[in-house]
Amino acid sequence: MAIQSVGVIGAGQMGNGIAHVFALAGFDVLMTDISREALERAVGVVGKNLDRQVSRDKITAEARDAALRRISTTMQLADLGQCDLVIEAATERETVKHAIFEDLVPHLKPETILASNTSSISITRLASRTDRPGRFMGVHFMNPVPVMQLVELIRGIATDEPTYRALVEVVQRLGKTAASAEDFPAFIVNRILIPMINEAVYTLYEGVGSVKSIDESMKLGANHPMGPLELADFIGLDTCLAIMNVLHDGLADTKYRPCPLLVKYVEAGWLGRKTGRGFYDYSSPEPVPTR
């Protein structure tokens, strides 16, 4: 099917990034959230990010203006019912996603494709709670969405071939690269990345190195653009913990046990950049290690 209208559920960091790239690629975007303030903030963020692309000669001012005109917002989930493709980009909690799909499905037209931006949760399980498991897929964008080139495409056990082909084409229209992953916990990127971060937290927890020495070691010794603890703060420590729990529960292997220090930081509400404190304190102009 030809996909032109796209619904985006969730106006957070991932949701506004997804809206940005779809609108810039010529799709009509309808974004929804339970918070009017979140929707207004998201449109503002998209505008600023588009302005940045104009200032760097990545896009023209005309393309920016056209993209912004293609984005509209609503607080009514049912309004997304006529979209050709709906992408859920809500918080990484399975119960929340199930509730969203339960409320949304009665309003969808029969041919609409449903997708989740989940970074780790079973696509097969999410799809089974809808009326269209054949037209359901995982479409996992990387953060920040306008910058990162990769999109993981994850087929559930019931996903049909036309749905997969349609979303491969969508990713191509976005100017991004699709990587096909099987429906196993955390897929490809996070199956490799998040345990590395968890191991860095264990290295800190066991006193092998400080926050600074761990991050500098991986940046200068392994040529990583960002240290693992700095990256954890950027992703959100709650998200890192949620993915480790999915891996641990889904694969039943002790090597995926979340580090107790990661658990403590999340319990303390030290979730990284979004709360102003994680493995670094962001209250001053220059981030300061907290350990």
Q: Which of 120, 152, 198, 230 is catalytic?
A: 152
Where do the domains of the chain lie, and which CATH numbers do they carry?
5-181 (3.40.50.720), 191-289 (1.10.1040.10)
- Residue 128 has a pLDDT of 95
- Residue 91 has a pLDDT of 87
CA distances from 201 to 102, 115, 147, 215, 240 (A): 37, 32, 27, 11, 11
Q: Which of 119, 120, 122, 198 is catalytic?
A: 119
- Residue 2 has a pLDDT of 87
- Residue 92 has a pLDDT of 85
For the CA atoms of 249, 251, 254, 260, what is the dihedral angle to 10 degrees?
A: -40
Q: Which of 16, 49, 122, 190 is catalytic?
A: 190
Q: Is 140 a catalytic residue?
A: yes
- Residue 167 has a pLDDT of 98
List of E strands, the chain: 5-9, 28-32, 71-74, 85-88, 113-116, 136-141, 150-155, 177-181, 280-281, 288-289
- Residue 52 has a pLDDT of 96
pLDDT tens for the chain, 291 residues: list them.
789 999 999 999 999 999 999 999 999 999 999 999 999 999 999 999 999 999 999 999 999 999 999 999 999 999 999 999 999 999 888 999 999 999 999 999 999 999 999 998 999 999 999 999 999 999 999 999 999 999 999 999 999 999 999 999 999 999 999 999 999 999 999 999 999 999 999 999 999 999 999 999 999 999 999 999 999 999 999 999 999 999 999 999 999 999 999 999 999 999 999 999 999 999 999 999 999
Q: Is 111 a catalytic residue?
A: no
Q: Is 92 a catalytic residue?
A: no
Residue 15, class by beta-carbon neighbours within 10 Å (0-12 exposed, 13-18 middle, 19+ buried)? Answer: buried
Q: Is 245 a catalytic residue?
A: no
| pTM (2 d.p.) | 0.90
